[in-house]
Structure 1
Amino acid sequence: MLALLLGAPSAHAQSALDNPDWKESEAPAPPAFNPEKLLPLDMPHYVTLKFGIDPATLSITPDGIVRYVVVARSDSGAITAFYEGILCAKGEVKSYARTQSDGQWRVVANPQWRALNDNQPSPHARVFARQGACDANTAASSVADIVRAMKK
């Protein structure tokens, strides 16, 4: 029984990777977030923005997607938030929404999966995948495990 439970996350990840009929679960509306409760991401030295994940927004879906809100803060204190998902099995990230200057969410029209290693303006999703969202090519086994890994 324990072996079945331990293998469950891997089965979800493999279904996304190996199953051509795999479908993403519908993403819920962007959640509220608290910029004062962020777990920091260990960004490369050349990135001037500070990034953090609000742990209250973390979820792991049955289809193997880690969804979260990441907040970017500039030295001047300006904040932009992104509601994203990481599909560890394929090494991909999708942005579902981002905040506008007034703090309101703007849903991304027709969001697409992109490789975590793409030449993106910021590598925050790749950093988060390595810092705790993913365990190799599977989603972390629980939100608590992600939070623990990020606090190390």
Structure 2
Amino acid sequence: MRRSLVALALTACALASHAQLNPVDPDWKEVEAPPPGALVVDGAIPLEMPRSLLRFGVAPASVSIGADGIVRYVVVATSASGAVNGLYEGIRCNTGEFKVYARHNPGSGWVIAKDAQWKSLHETHVSAHSLAIARTGACIGHGTNQTASAILRDLRRPADRRFEQP
């Protein structure tokens, strides 16, 4: 327990210094998001969403970090009746924002979101799963986790072991 608290304190210090060293770039430009792949439900990494009626999971093969620093992924939402929908999203860790690029519906497949805008992870309950992804693997403070494999590793780990070196 003490080791976990020390690790959390060190992580907080590192995050604070990382935020100071990496201010938001005023000239930042988003690169065009690649199209989402096929919706894969099997093997999705479950997210802890205790107040949700839906079960959420991240499709491991979909996780990437773009040249623009955006973490892109597909999240799968499954209802109690078994209906499955998908969202292709991006998280911009340094600004605490997310964007929905496309939605997957059972009958129509992927539908690209028109005029998708960046929204705060903290302003809307609609993004609760996005905030969970940011906090549990995609972002370390206001910085992007090191690699897609590090994001996947941290999403799979219990809360007291996230963001530790292997």
In the superposition, the TM-score normalised over structure 2's length comes to 0.79
Q: Which runs of 5+ in 2 are unaligned?
A: 1-17, 158-166
Give the aligned CA root-mean-square deviation in angstroms.
1.8
Q: CA separation in 2, counterparts of 1:40 and 1:91?
A: 22
After TM superposition, what 4+ stretches of structure 1 lie above 6 angstroms from structure 2?
none
Which residues in structure 2 correspond to 1:55-134 (within 5 Å)?
A: 55-134=60-139
- Structure with larger RCO (C-alpha < 8 A, sep 6+): 1
Q: Which runs of 5+ in 1 are unaligned?
A: 1-9
Name the SS of the counterpart of 2:125 in structure 1: coil
Number of aligned residues: 139
Q: Is the 8 A contact 2:93 2:143 kept in 1?
A: yes
2:51 equivalent in structure 1: 46
In the superposition, the TM-score normalised over structure 1's length comes to 0.85
Q: Does 1:14 align with 2:22?
A: yes
Q: Does 1:24 align with 2:66?
A: no
- Check 1:73–1:103 CA distance in 2 against 1; reply closer, same or farther (3 A cut): farther
- Check 1:14–1:26 CA distance in 2 against 1; reply closer, same or farther (3 A cut): farther
